[in-house]
Structure 1
Amino acid sequence: MNSIRGIFITLAAAWLPLPSHAAEVQIAVASNFTAPMHVIAERFERDTGHQALLAFGSTGKLYAQIRNGAPFEVLLAADEEIPSKLEGEGLGVAGSRFTYAIGTLVLWSDKEGYVDDQAKVLTQRPFRHLAIANPKTAPYGAAAMATLARLGLAYSVRARLVQGENIAQTYQFVASGNAELGFVALSQLLEEGEIRQGSAWIVPAAYHPPIRQDALLLAKGRGNPAAQALLDYLQSAKAADVIKAYGYNPE
């Protein structure tokens, strides 16, 4: 009887996933992609058994950290320039780069009815502060400056600009009331597909260069099955559903 029970336990154990097959991957993620990445990481871990360790920041600062030896294995940037640069510098695996999302820029205020659908708020309402992400390190900040230039307002609002270190801090400036309005990522405002509070103008795509957000397998992730699995998962239909739900266009 004991021998039969032992055989049963051995056979049952053979059907369980082997812990040795699971691995972890350290991922550097652009701040604008915080909310969707938390969802994707949770589903990735559930579906694959691998663990995703996430670190968030502006793409420019993440680039500096990677250059200085940070242990990141995958980069999810807010642009295409930084991943291309890392690839060229040998810090990324050649041929691994792809666009995982195209971002949407929004002029937003926490106040209901404050921002109109043509951005006339920028010229017809008094405001003390307009928040943008640092255009030197954050692609959404660069897109904001391009939008202001397209509107002919880059010079006139210059004295009222306040810069966030990244898009997450820019959002906080507006949400806290320290700035009446600001340019943020649509993904920061959505809840179940709707802008959850305040008022917003979705900036037409033609007003700034496309915010193509590229993923890259970094040199430190070469040979890590969890790193490649994460990149594969990011290109799956499951991830695309999440990306769309947060206001991005998947590539």
Structure 2
Amino acid sequence: MPRRFRSAYAIVLLLSLCPVVGHAAQVSVAVAANFTAPMQKIAAEFERDTGHKAQLAFGATGKFYAQIRNGAPFELLLAADETTPAKLEEEGAAVAGSRFTYAIGRLVLWSAQVGVVDDKGEVLRRGTFAHLSIANPKTAPYGAAAMEVLRKLGLADPLAAKLVTGENIAQAHQFVASGNAELGFVALSQVWADGRLTSGSIWQVPADLHAPLRQDAIILAAGRDKPAARALADYLRGPKAVAIIRSYGYGL
């Protein structure tokens, strides 16, 4: 190919790539702590497939609500419940009609040690442990669900002195993983991957012992005109993200 044609071809190729690079953007996402591992995988695939980058912050849904109402510039919220996104939508702090359920969470009682937790959760009644870890029920939906389970089992008062409260579900899990608590209520996604338990022993809490852990996402006011926020919301409902979500034990 003559040099002048090669040069022209290079210019055309460069110009054709410019719109793709120019449209790549970043979206700031507040993510419920229980969804840390799957969201990290989803964000990597999202960036690979779209060019957009997701900047992730993980924490308790209740704390994110307070931060958002105080002006935190998050553009998308992935909550651990359905109540918080609905409330933000009603208050005008989120884009009306953008709310959807991205996962159904599952609560489990977990010990890092094999054989400590039986498959019926009877270890709770035996009380042969010093500490039971839960997330803060005031700010973390999984913590609220854990307290609901204890109340329904009639164990909230008998076990009150043994409770160790983490700021969020990630810290509740860390208390058990580090051995500071023999067992604790955590999200199945934290101890489950690719269809199997990653370590220790669990009791999968029956769904009728607590309110459903419907986890909703919503585009926040700061993301209203941000294509990357809309793109990630759509991506979460696509086949690649759904497969990742299911692999961590979530329902859909």
Find 1:140's aligned residue among 129, 139, 142. 142
Measure, in 1, the Cα distance between the counterparts of 2:192 and 2:13.
45
Measure, in 2, the Cα distance between the counterparts of 1:71 and 1:121.
44
Shift of 1:224: 0.4
Does the CA-based 8 Å contact 2:81-2:216 persist in structure 1?
yes
Measure, in 2, the Cα distance between the counterparts of 1:236 and 1:18.
21
Structure 2, unmatched stretches of 5+, are none
Secondary structure in structure 2 of the residue aligned to 1:141: helix
The RMSD of aligned alpha carbons is 1.1
TM-score (norm 2): 0.97
Deviations 1:35-87 (A, max 9, x none): 00000000000000101000011001111111111110000000011111111
Which deviates more from structure 2 when the two are superposed, residues 66-75 or residues 16-25? 16-25
Shift of 1:18: 2.6
Measure, in 2, the Cα distance between the counterparts of 1:12 and 1:196.
47
Give the length in aligned residue pairs.
250
Q: Which residue of 1 aligns with 2:176?
A: 174
**Structure 1 stretches of at least 4 aligned residues deviating more than 4 Å after TM superposition:** none
Does the CA-based 8 Å contact 2:114-2:200 persist in structure 1?
yes
TM-score (norm 1): 0.97
Shift of 1:15: 4.3
Q: Which residue of 2 aligns with 1:207?
A: 209
Secondary structure in structure 2 of the residue aligned to 1:18: helix
Structure 1, unmatched stretches of 5+, are none
Measure, in 1, the Cα distance between the counterparts of 2:49 and 2:5.
33
Measure, in 2, the Cα distance between the counterparts of 1:13 and 1:69.
40
Q: Which residue of 2 aligns with 1:13?
A: 14
Partner letter of residue 236 of structure 1? Answer: G
Q: Which residue of 2 aligns with 1:122?
A: 124
Which deviates more from structure 2 when the two are superposed, residues 166-175 or residues 193-202? 193-202
Does the CA-based 8 Å contact 2:101-2:216 persist in structure 1?
yes
Q: Which residue of 1 aligns with 2:76?
A: 74
Partner letter of residue 52 of structure 1? Answer: A
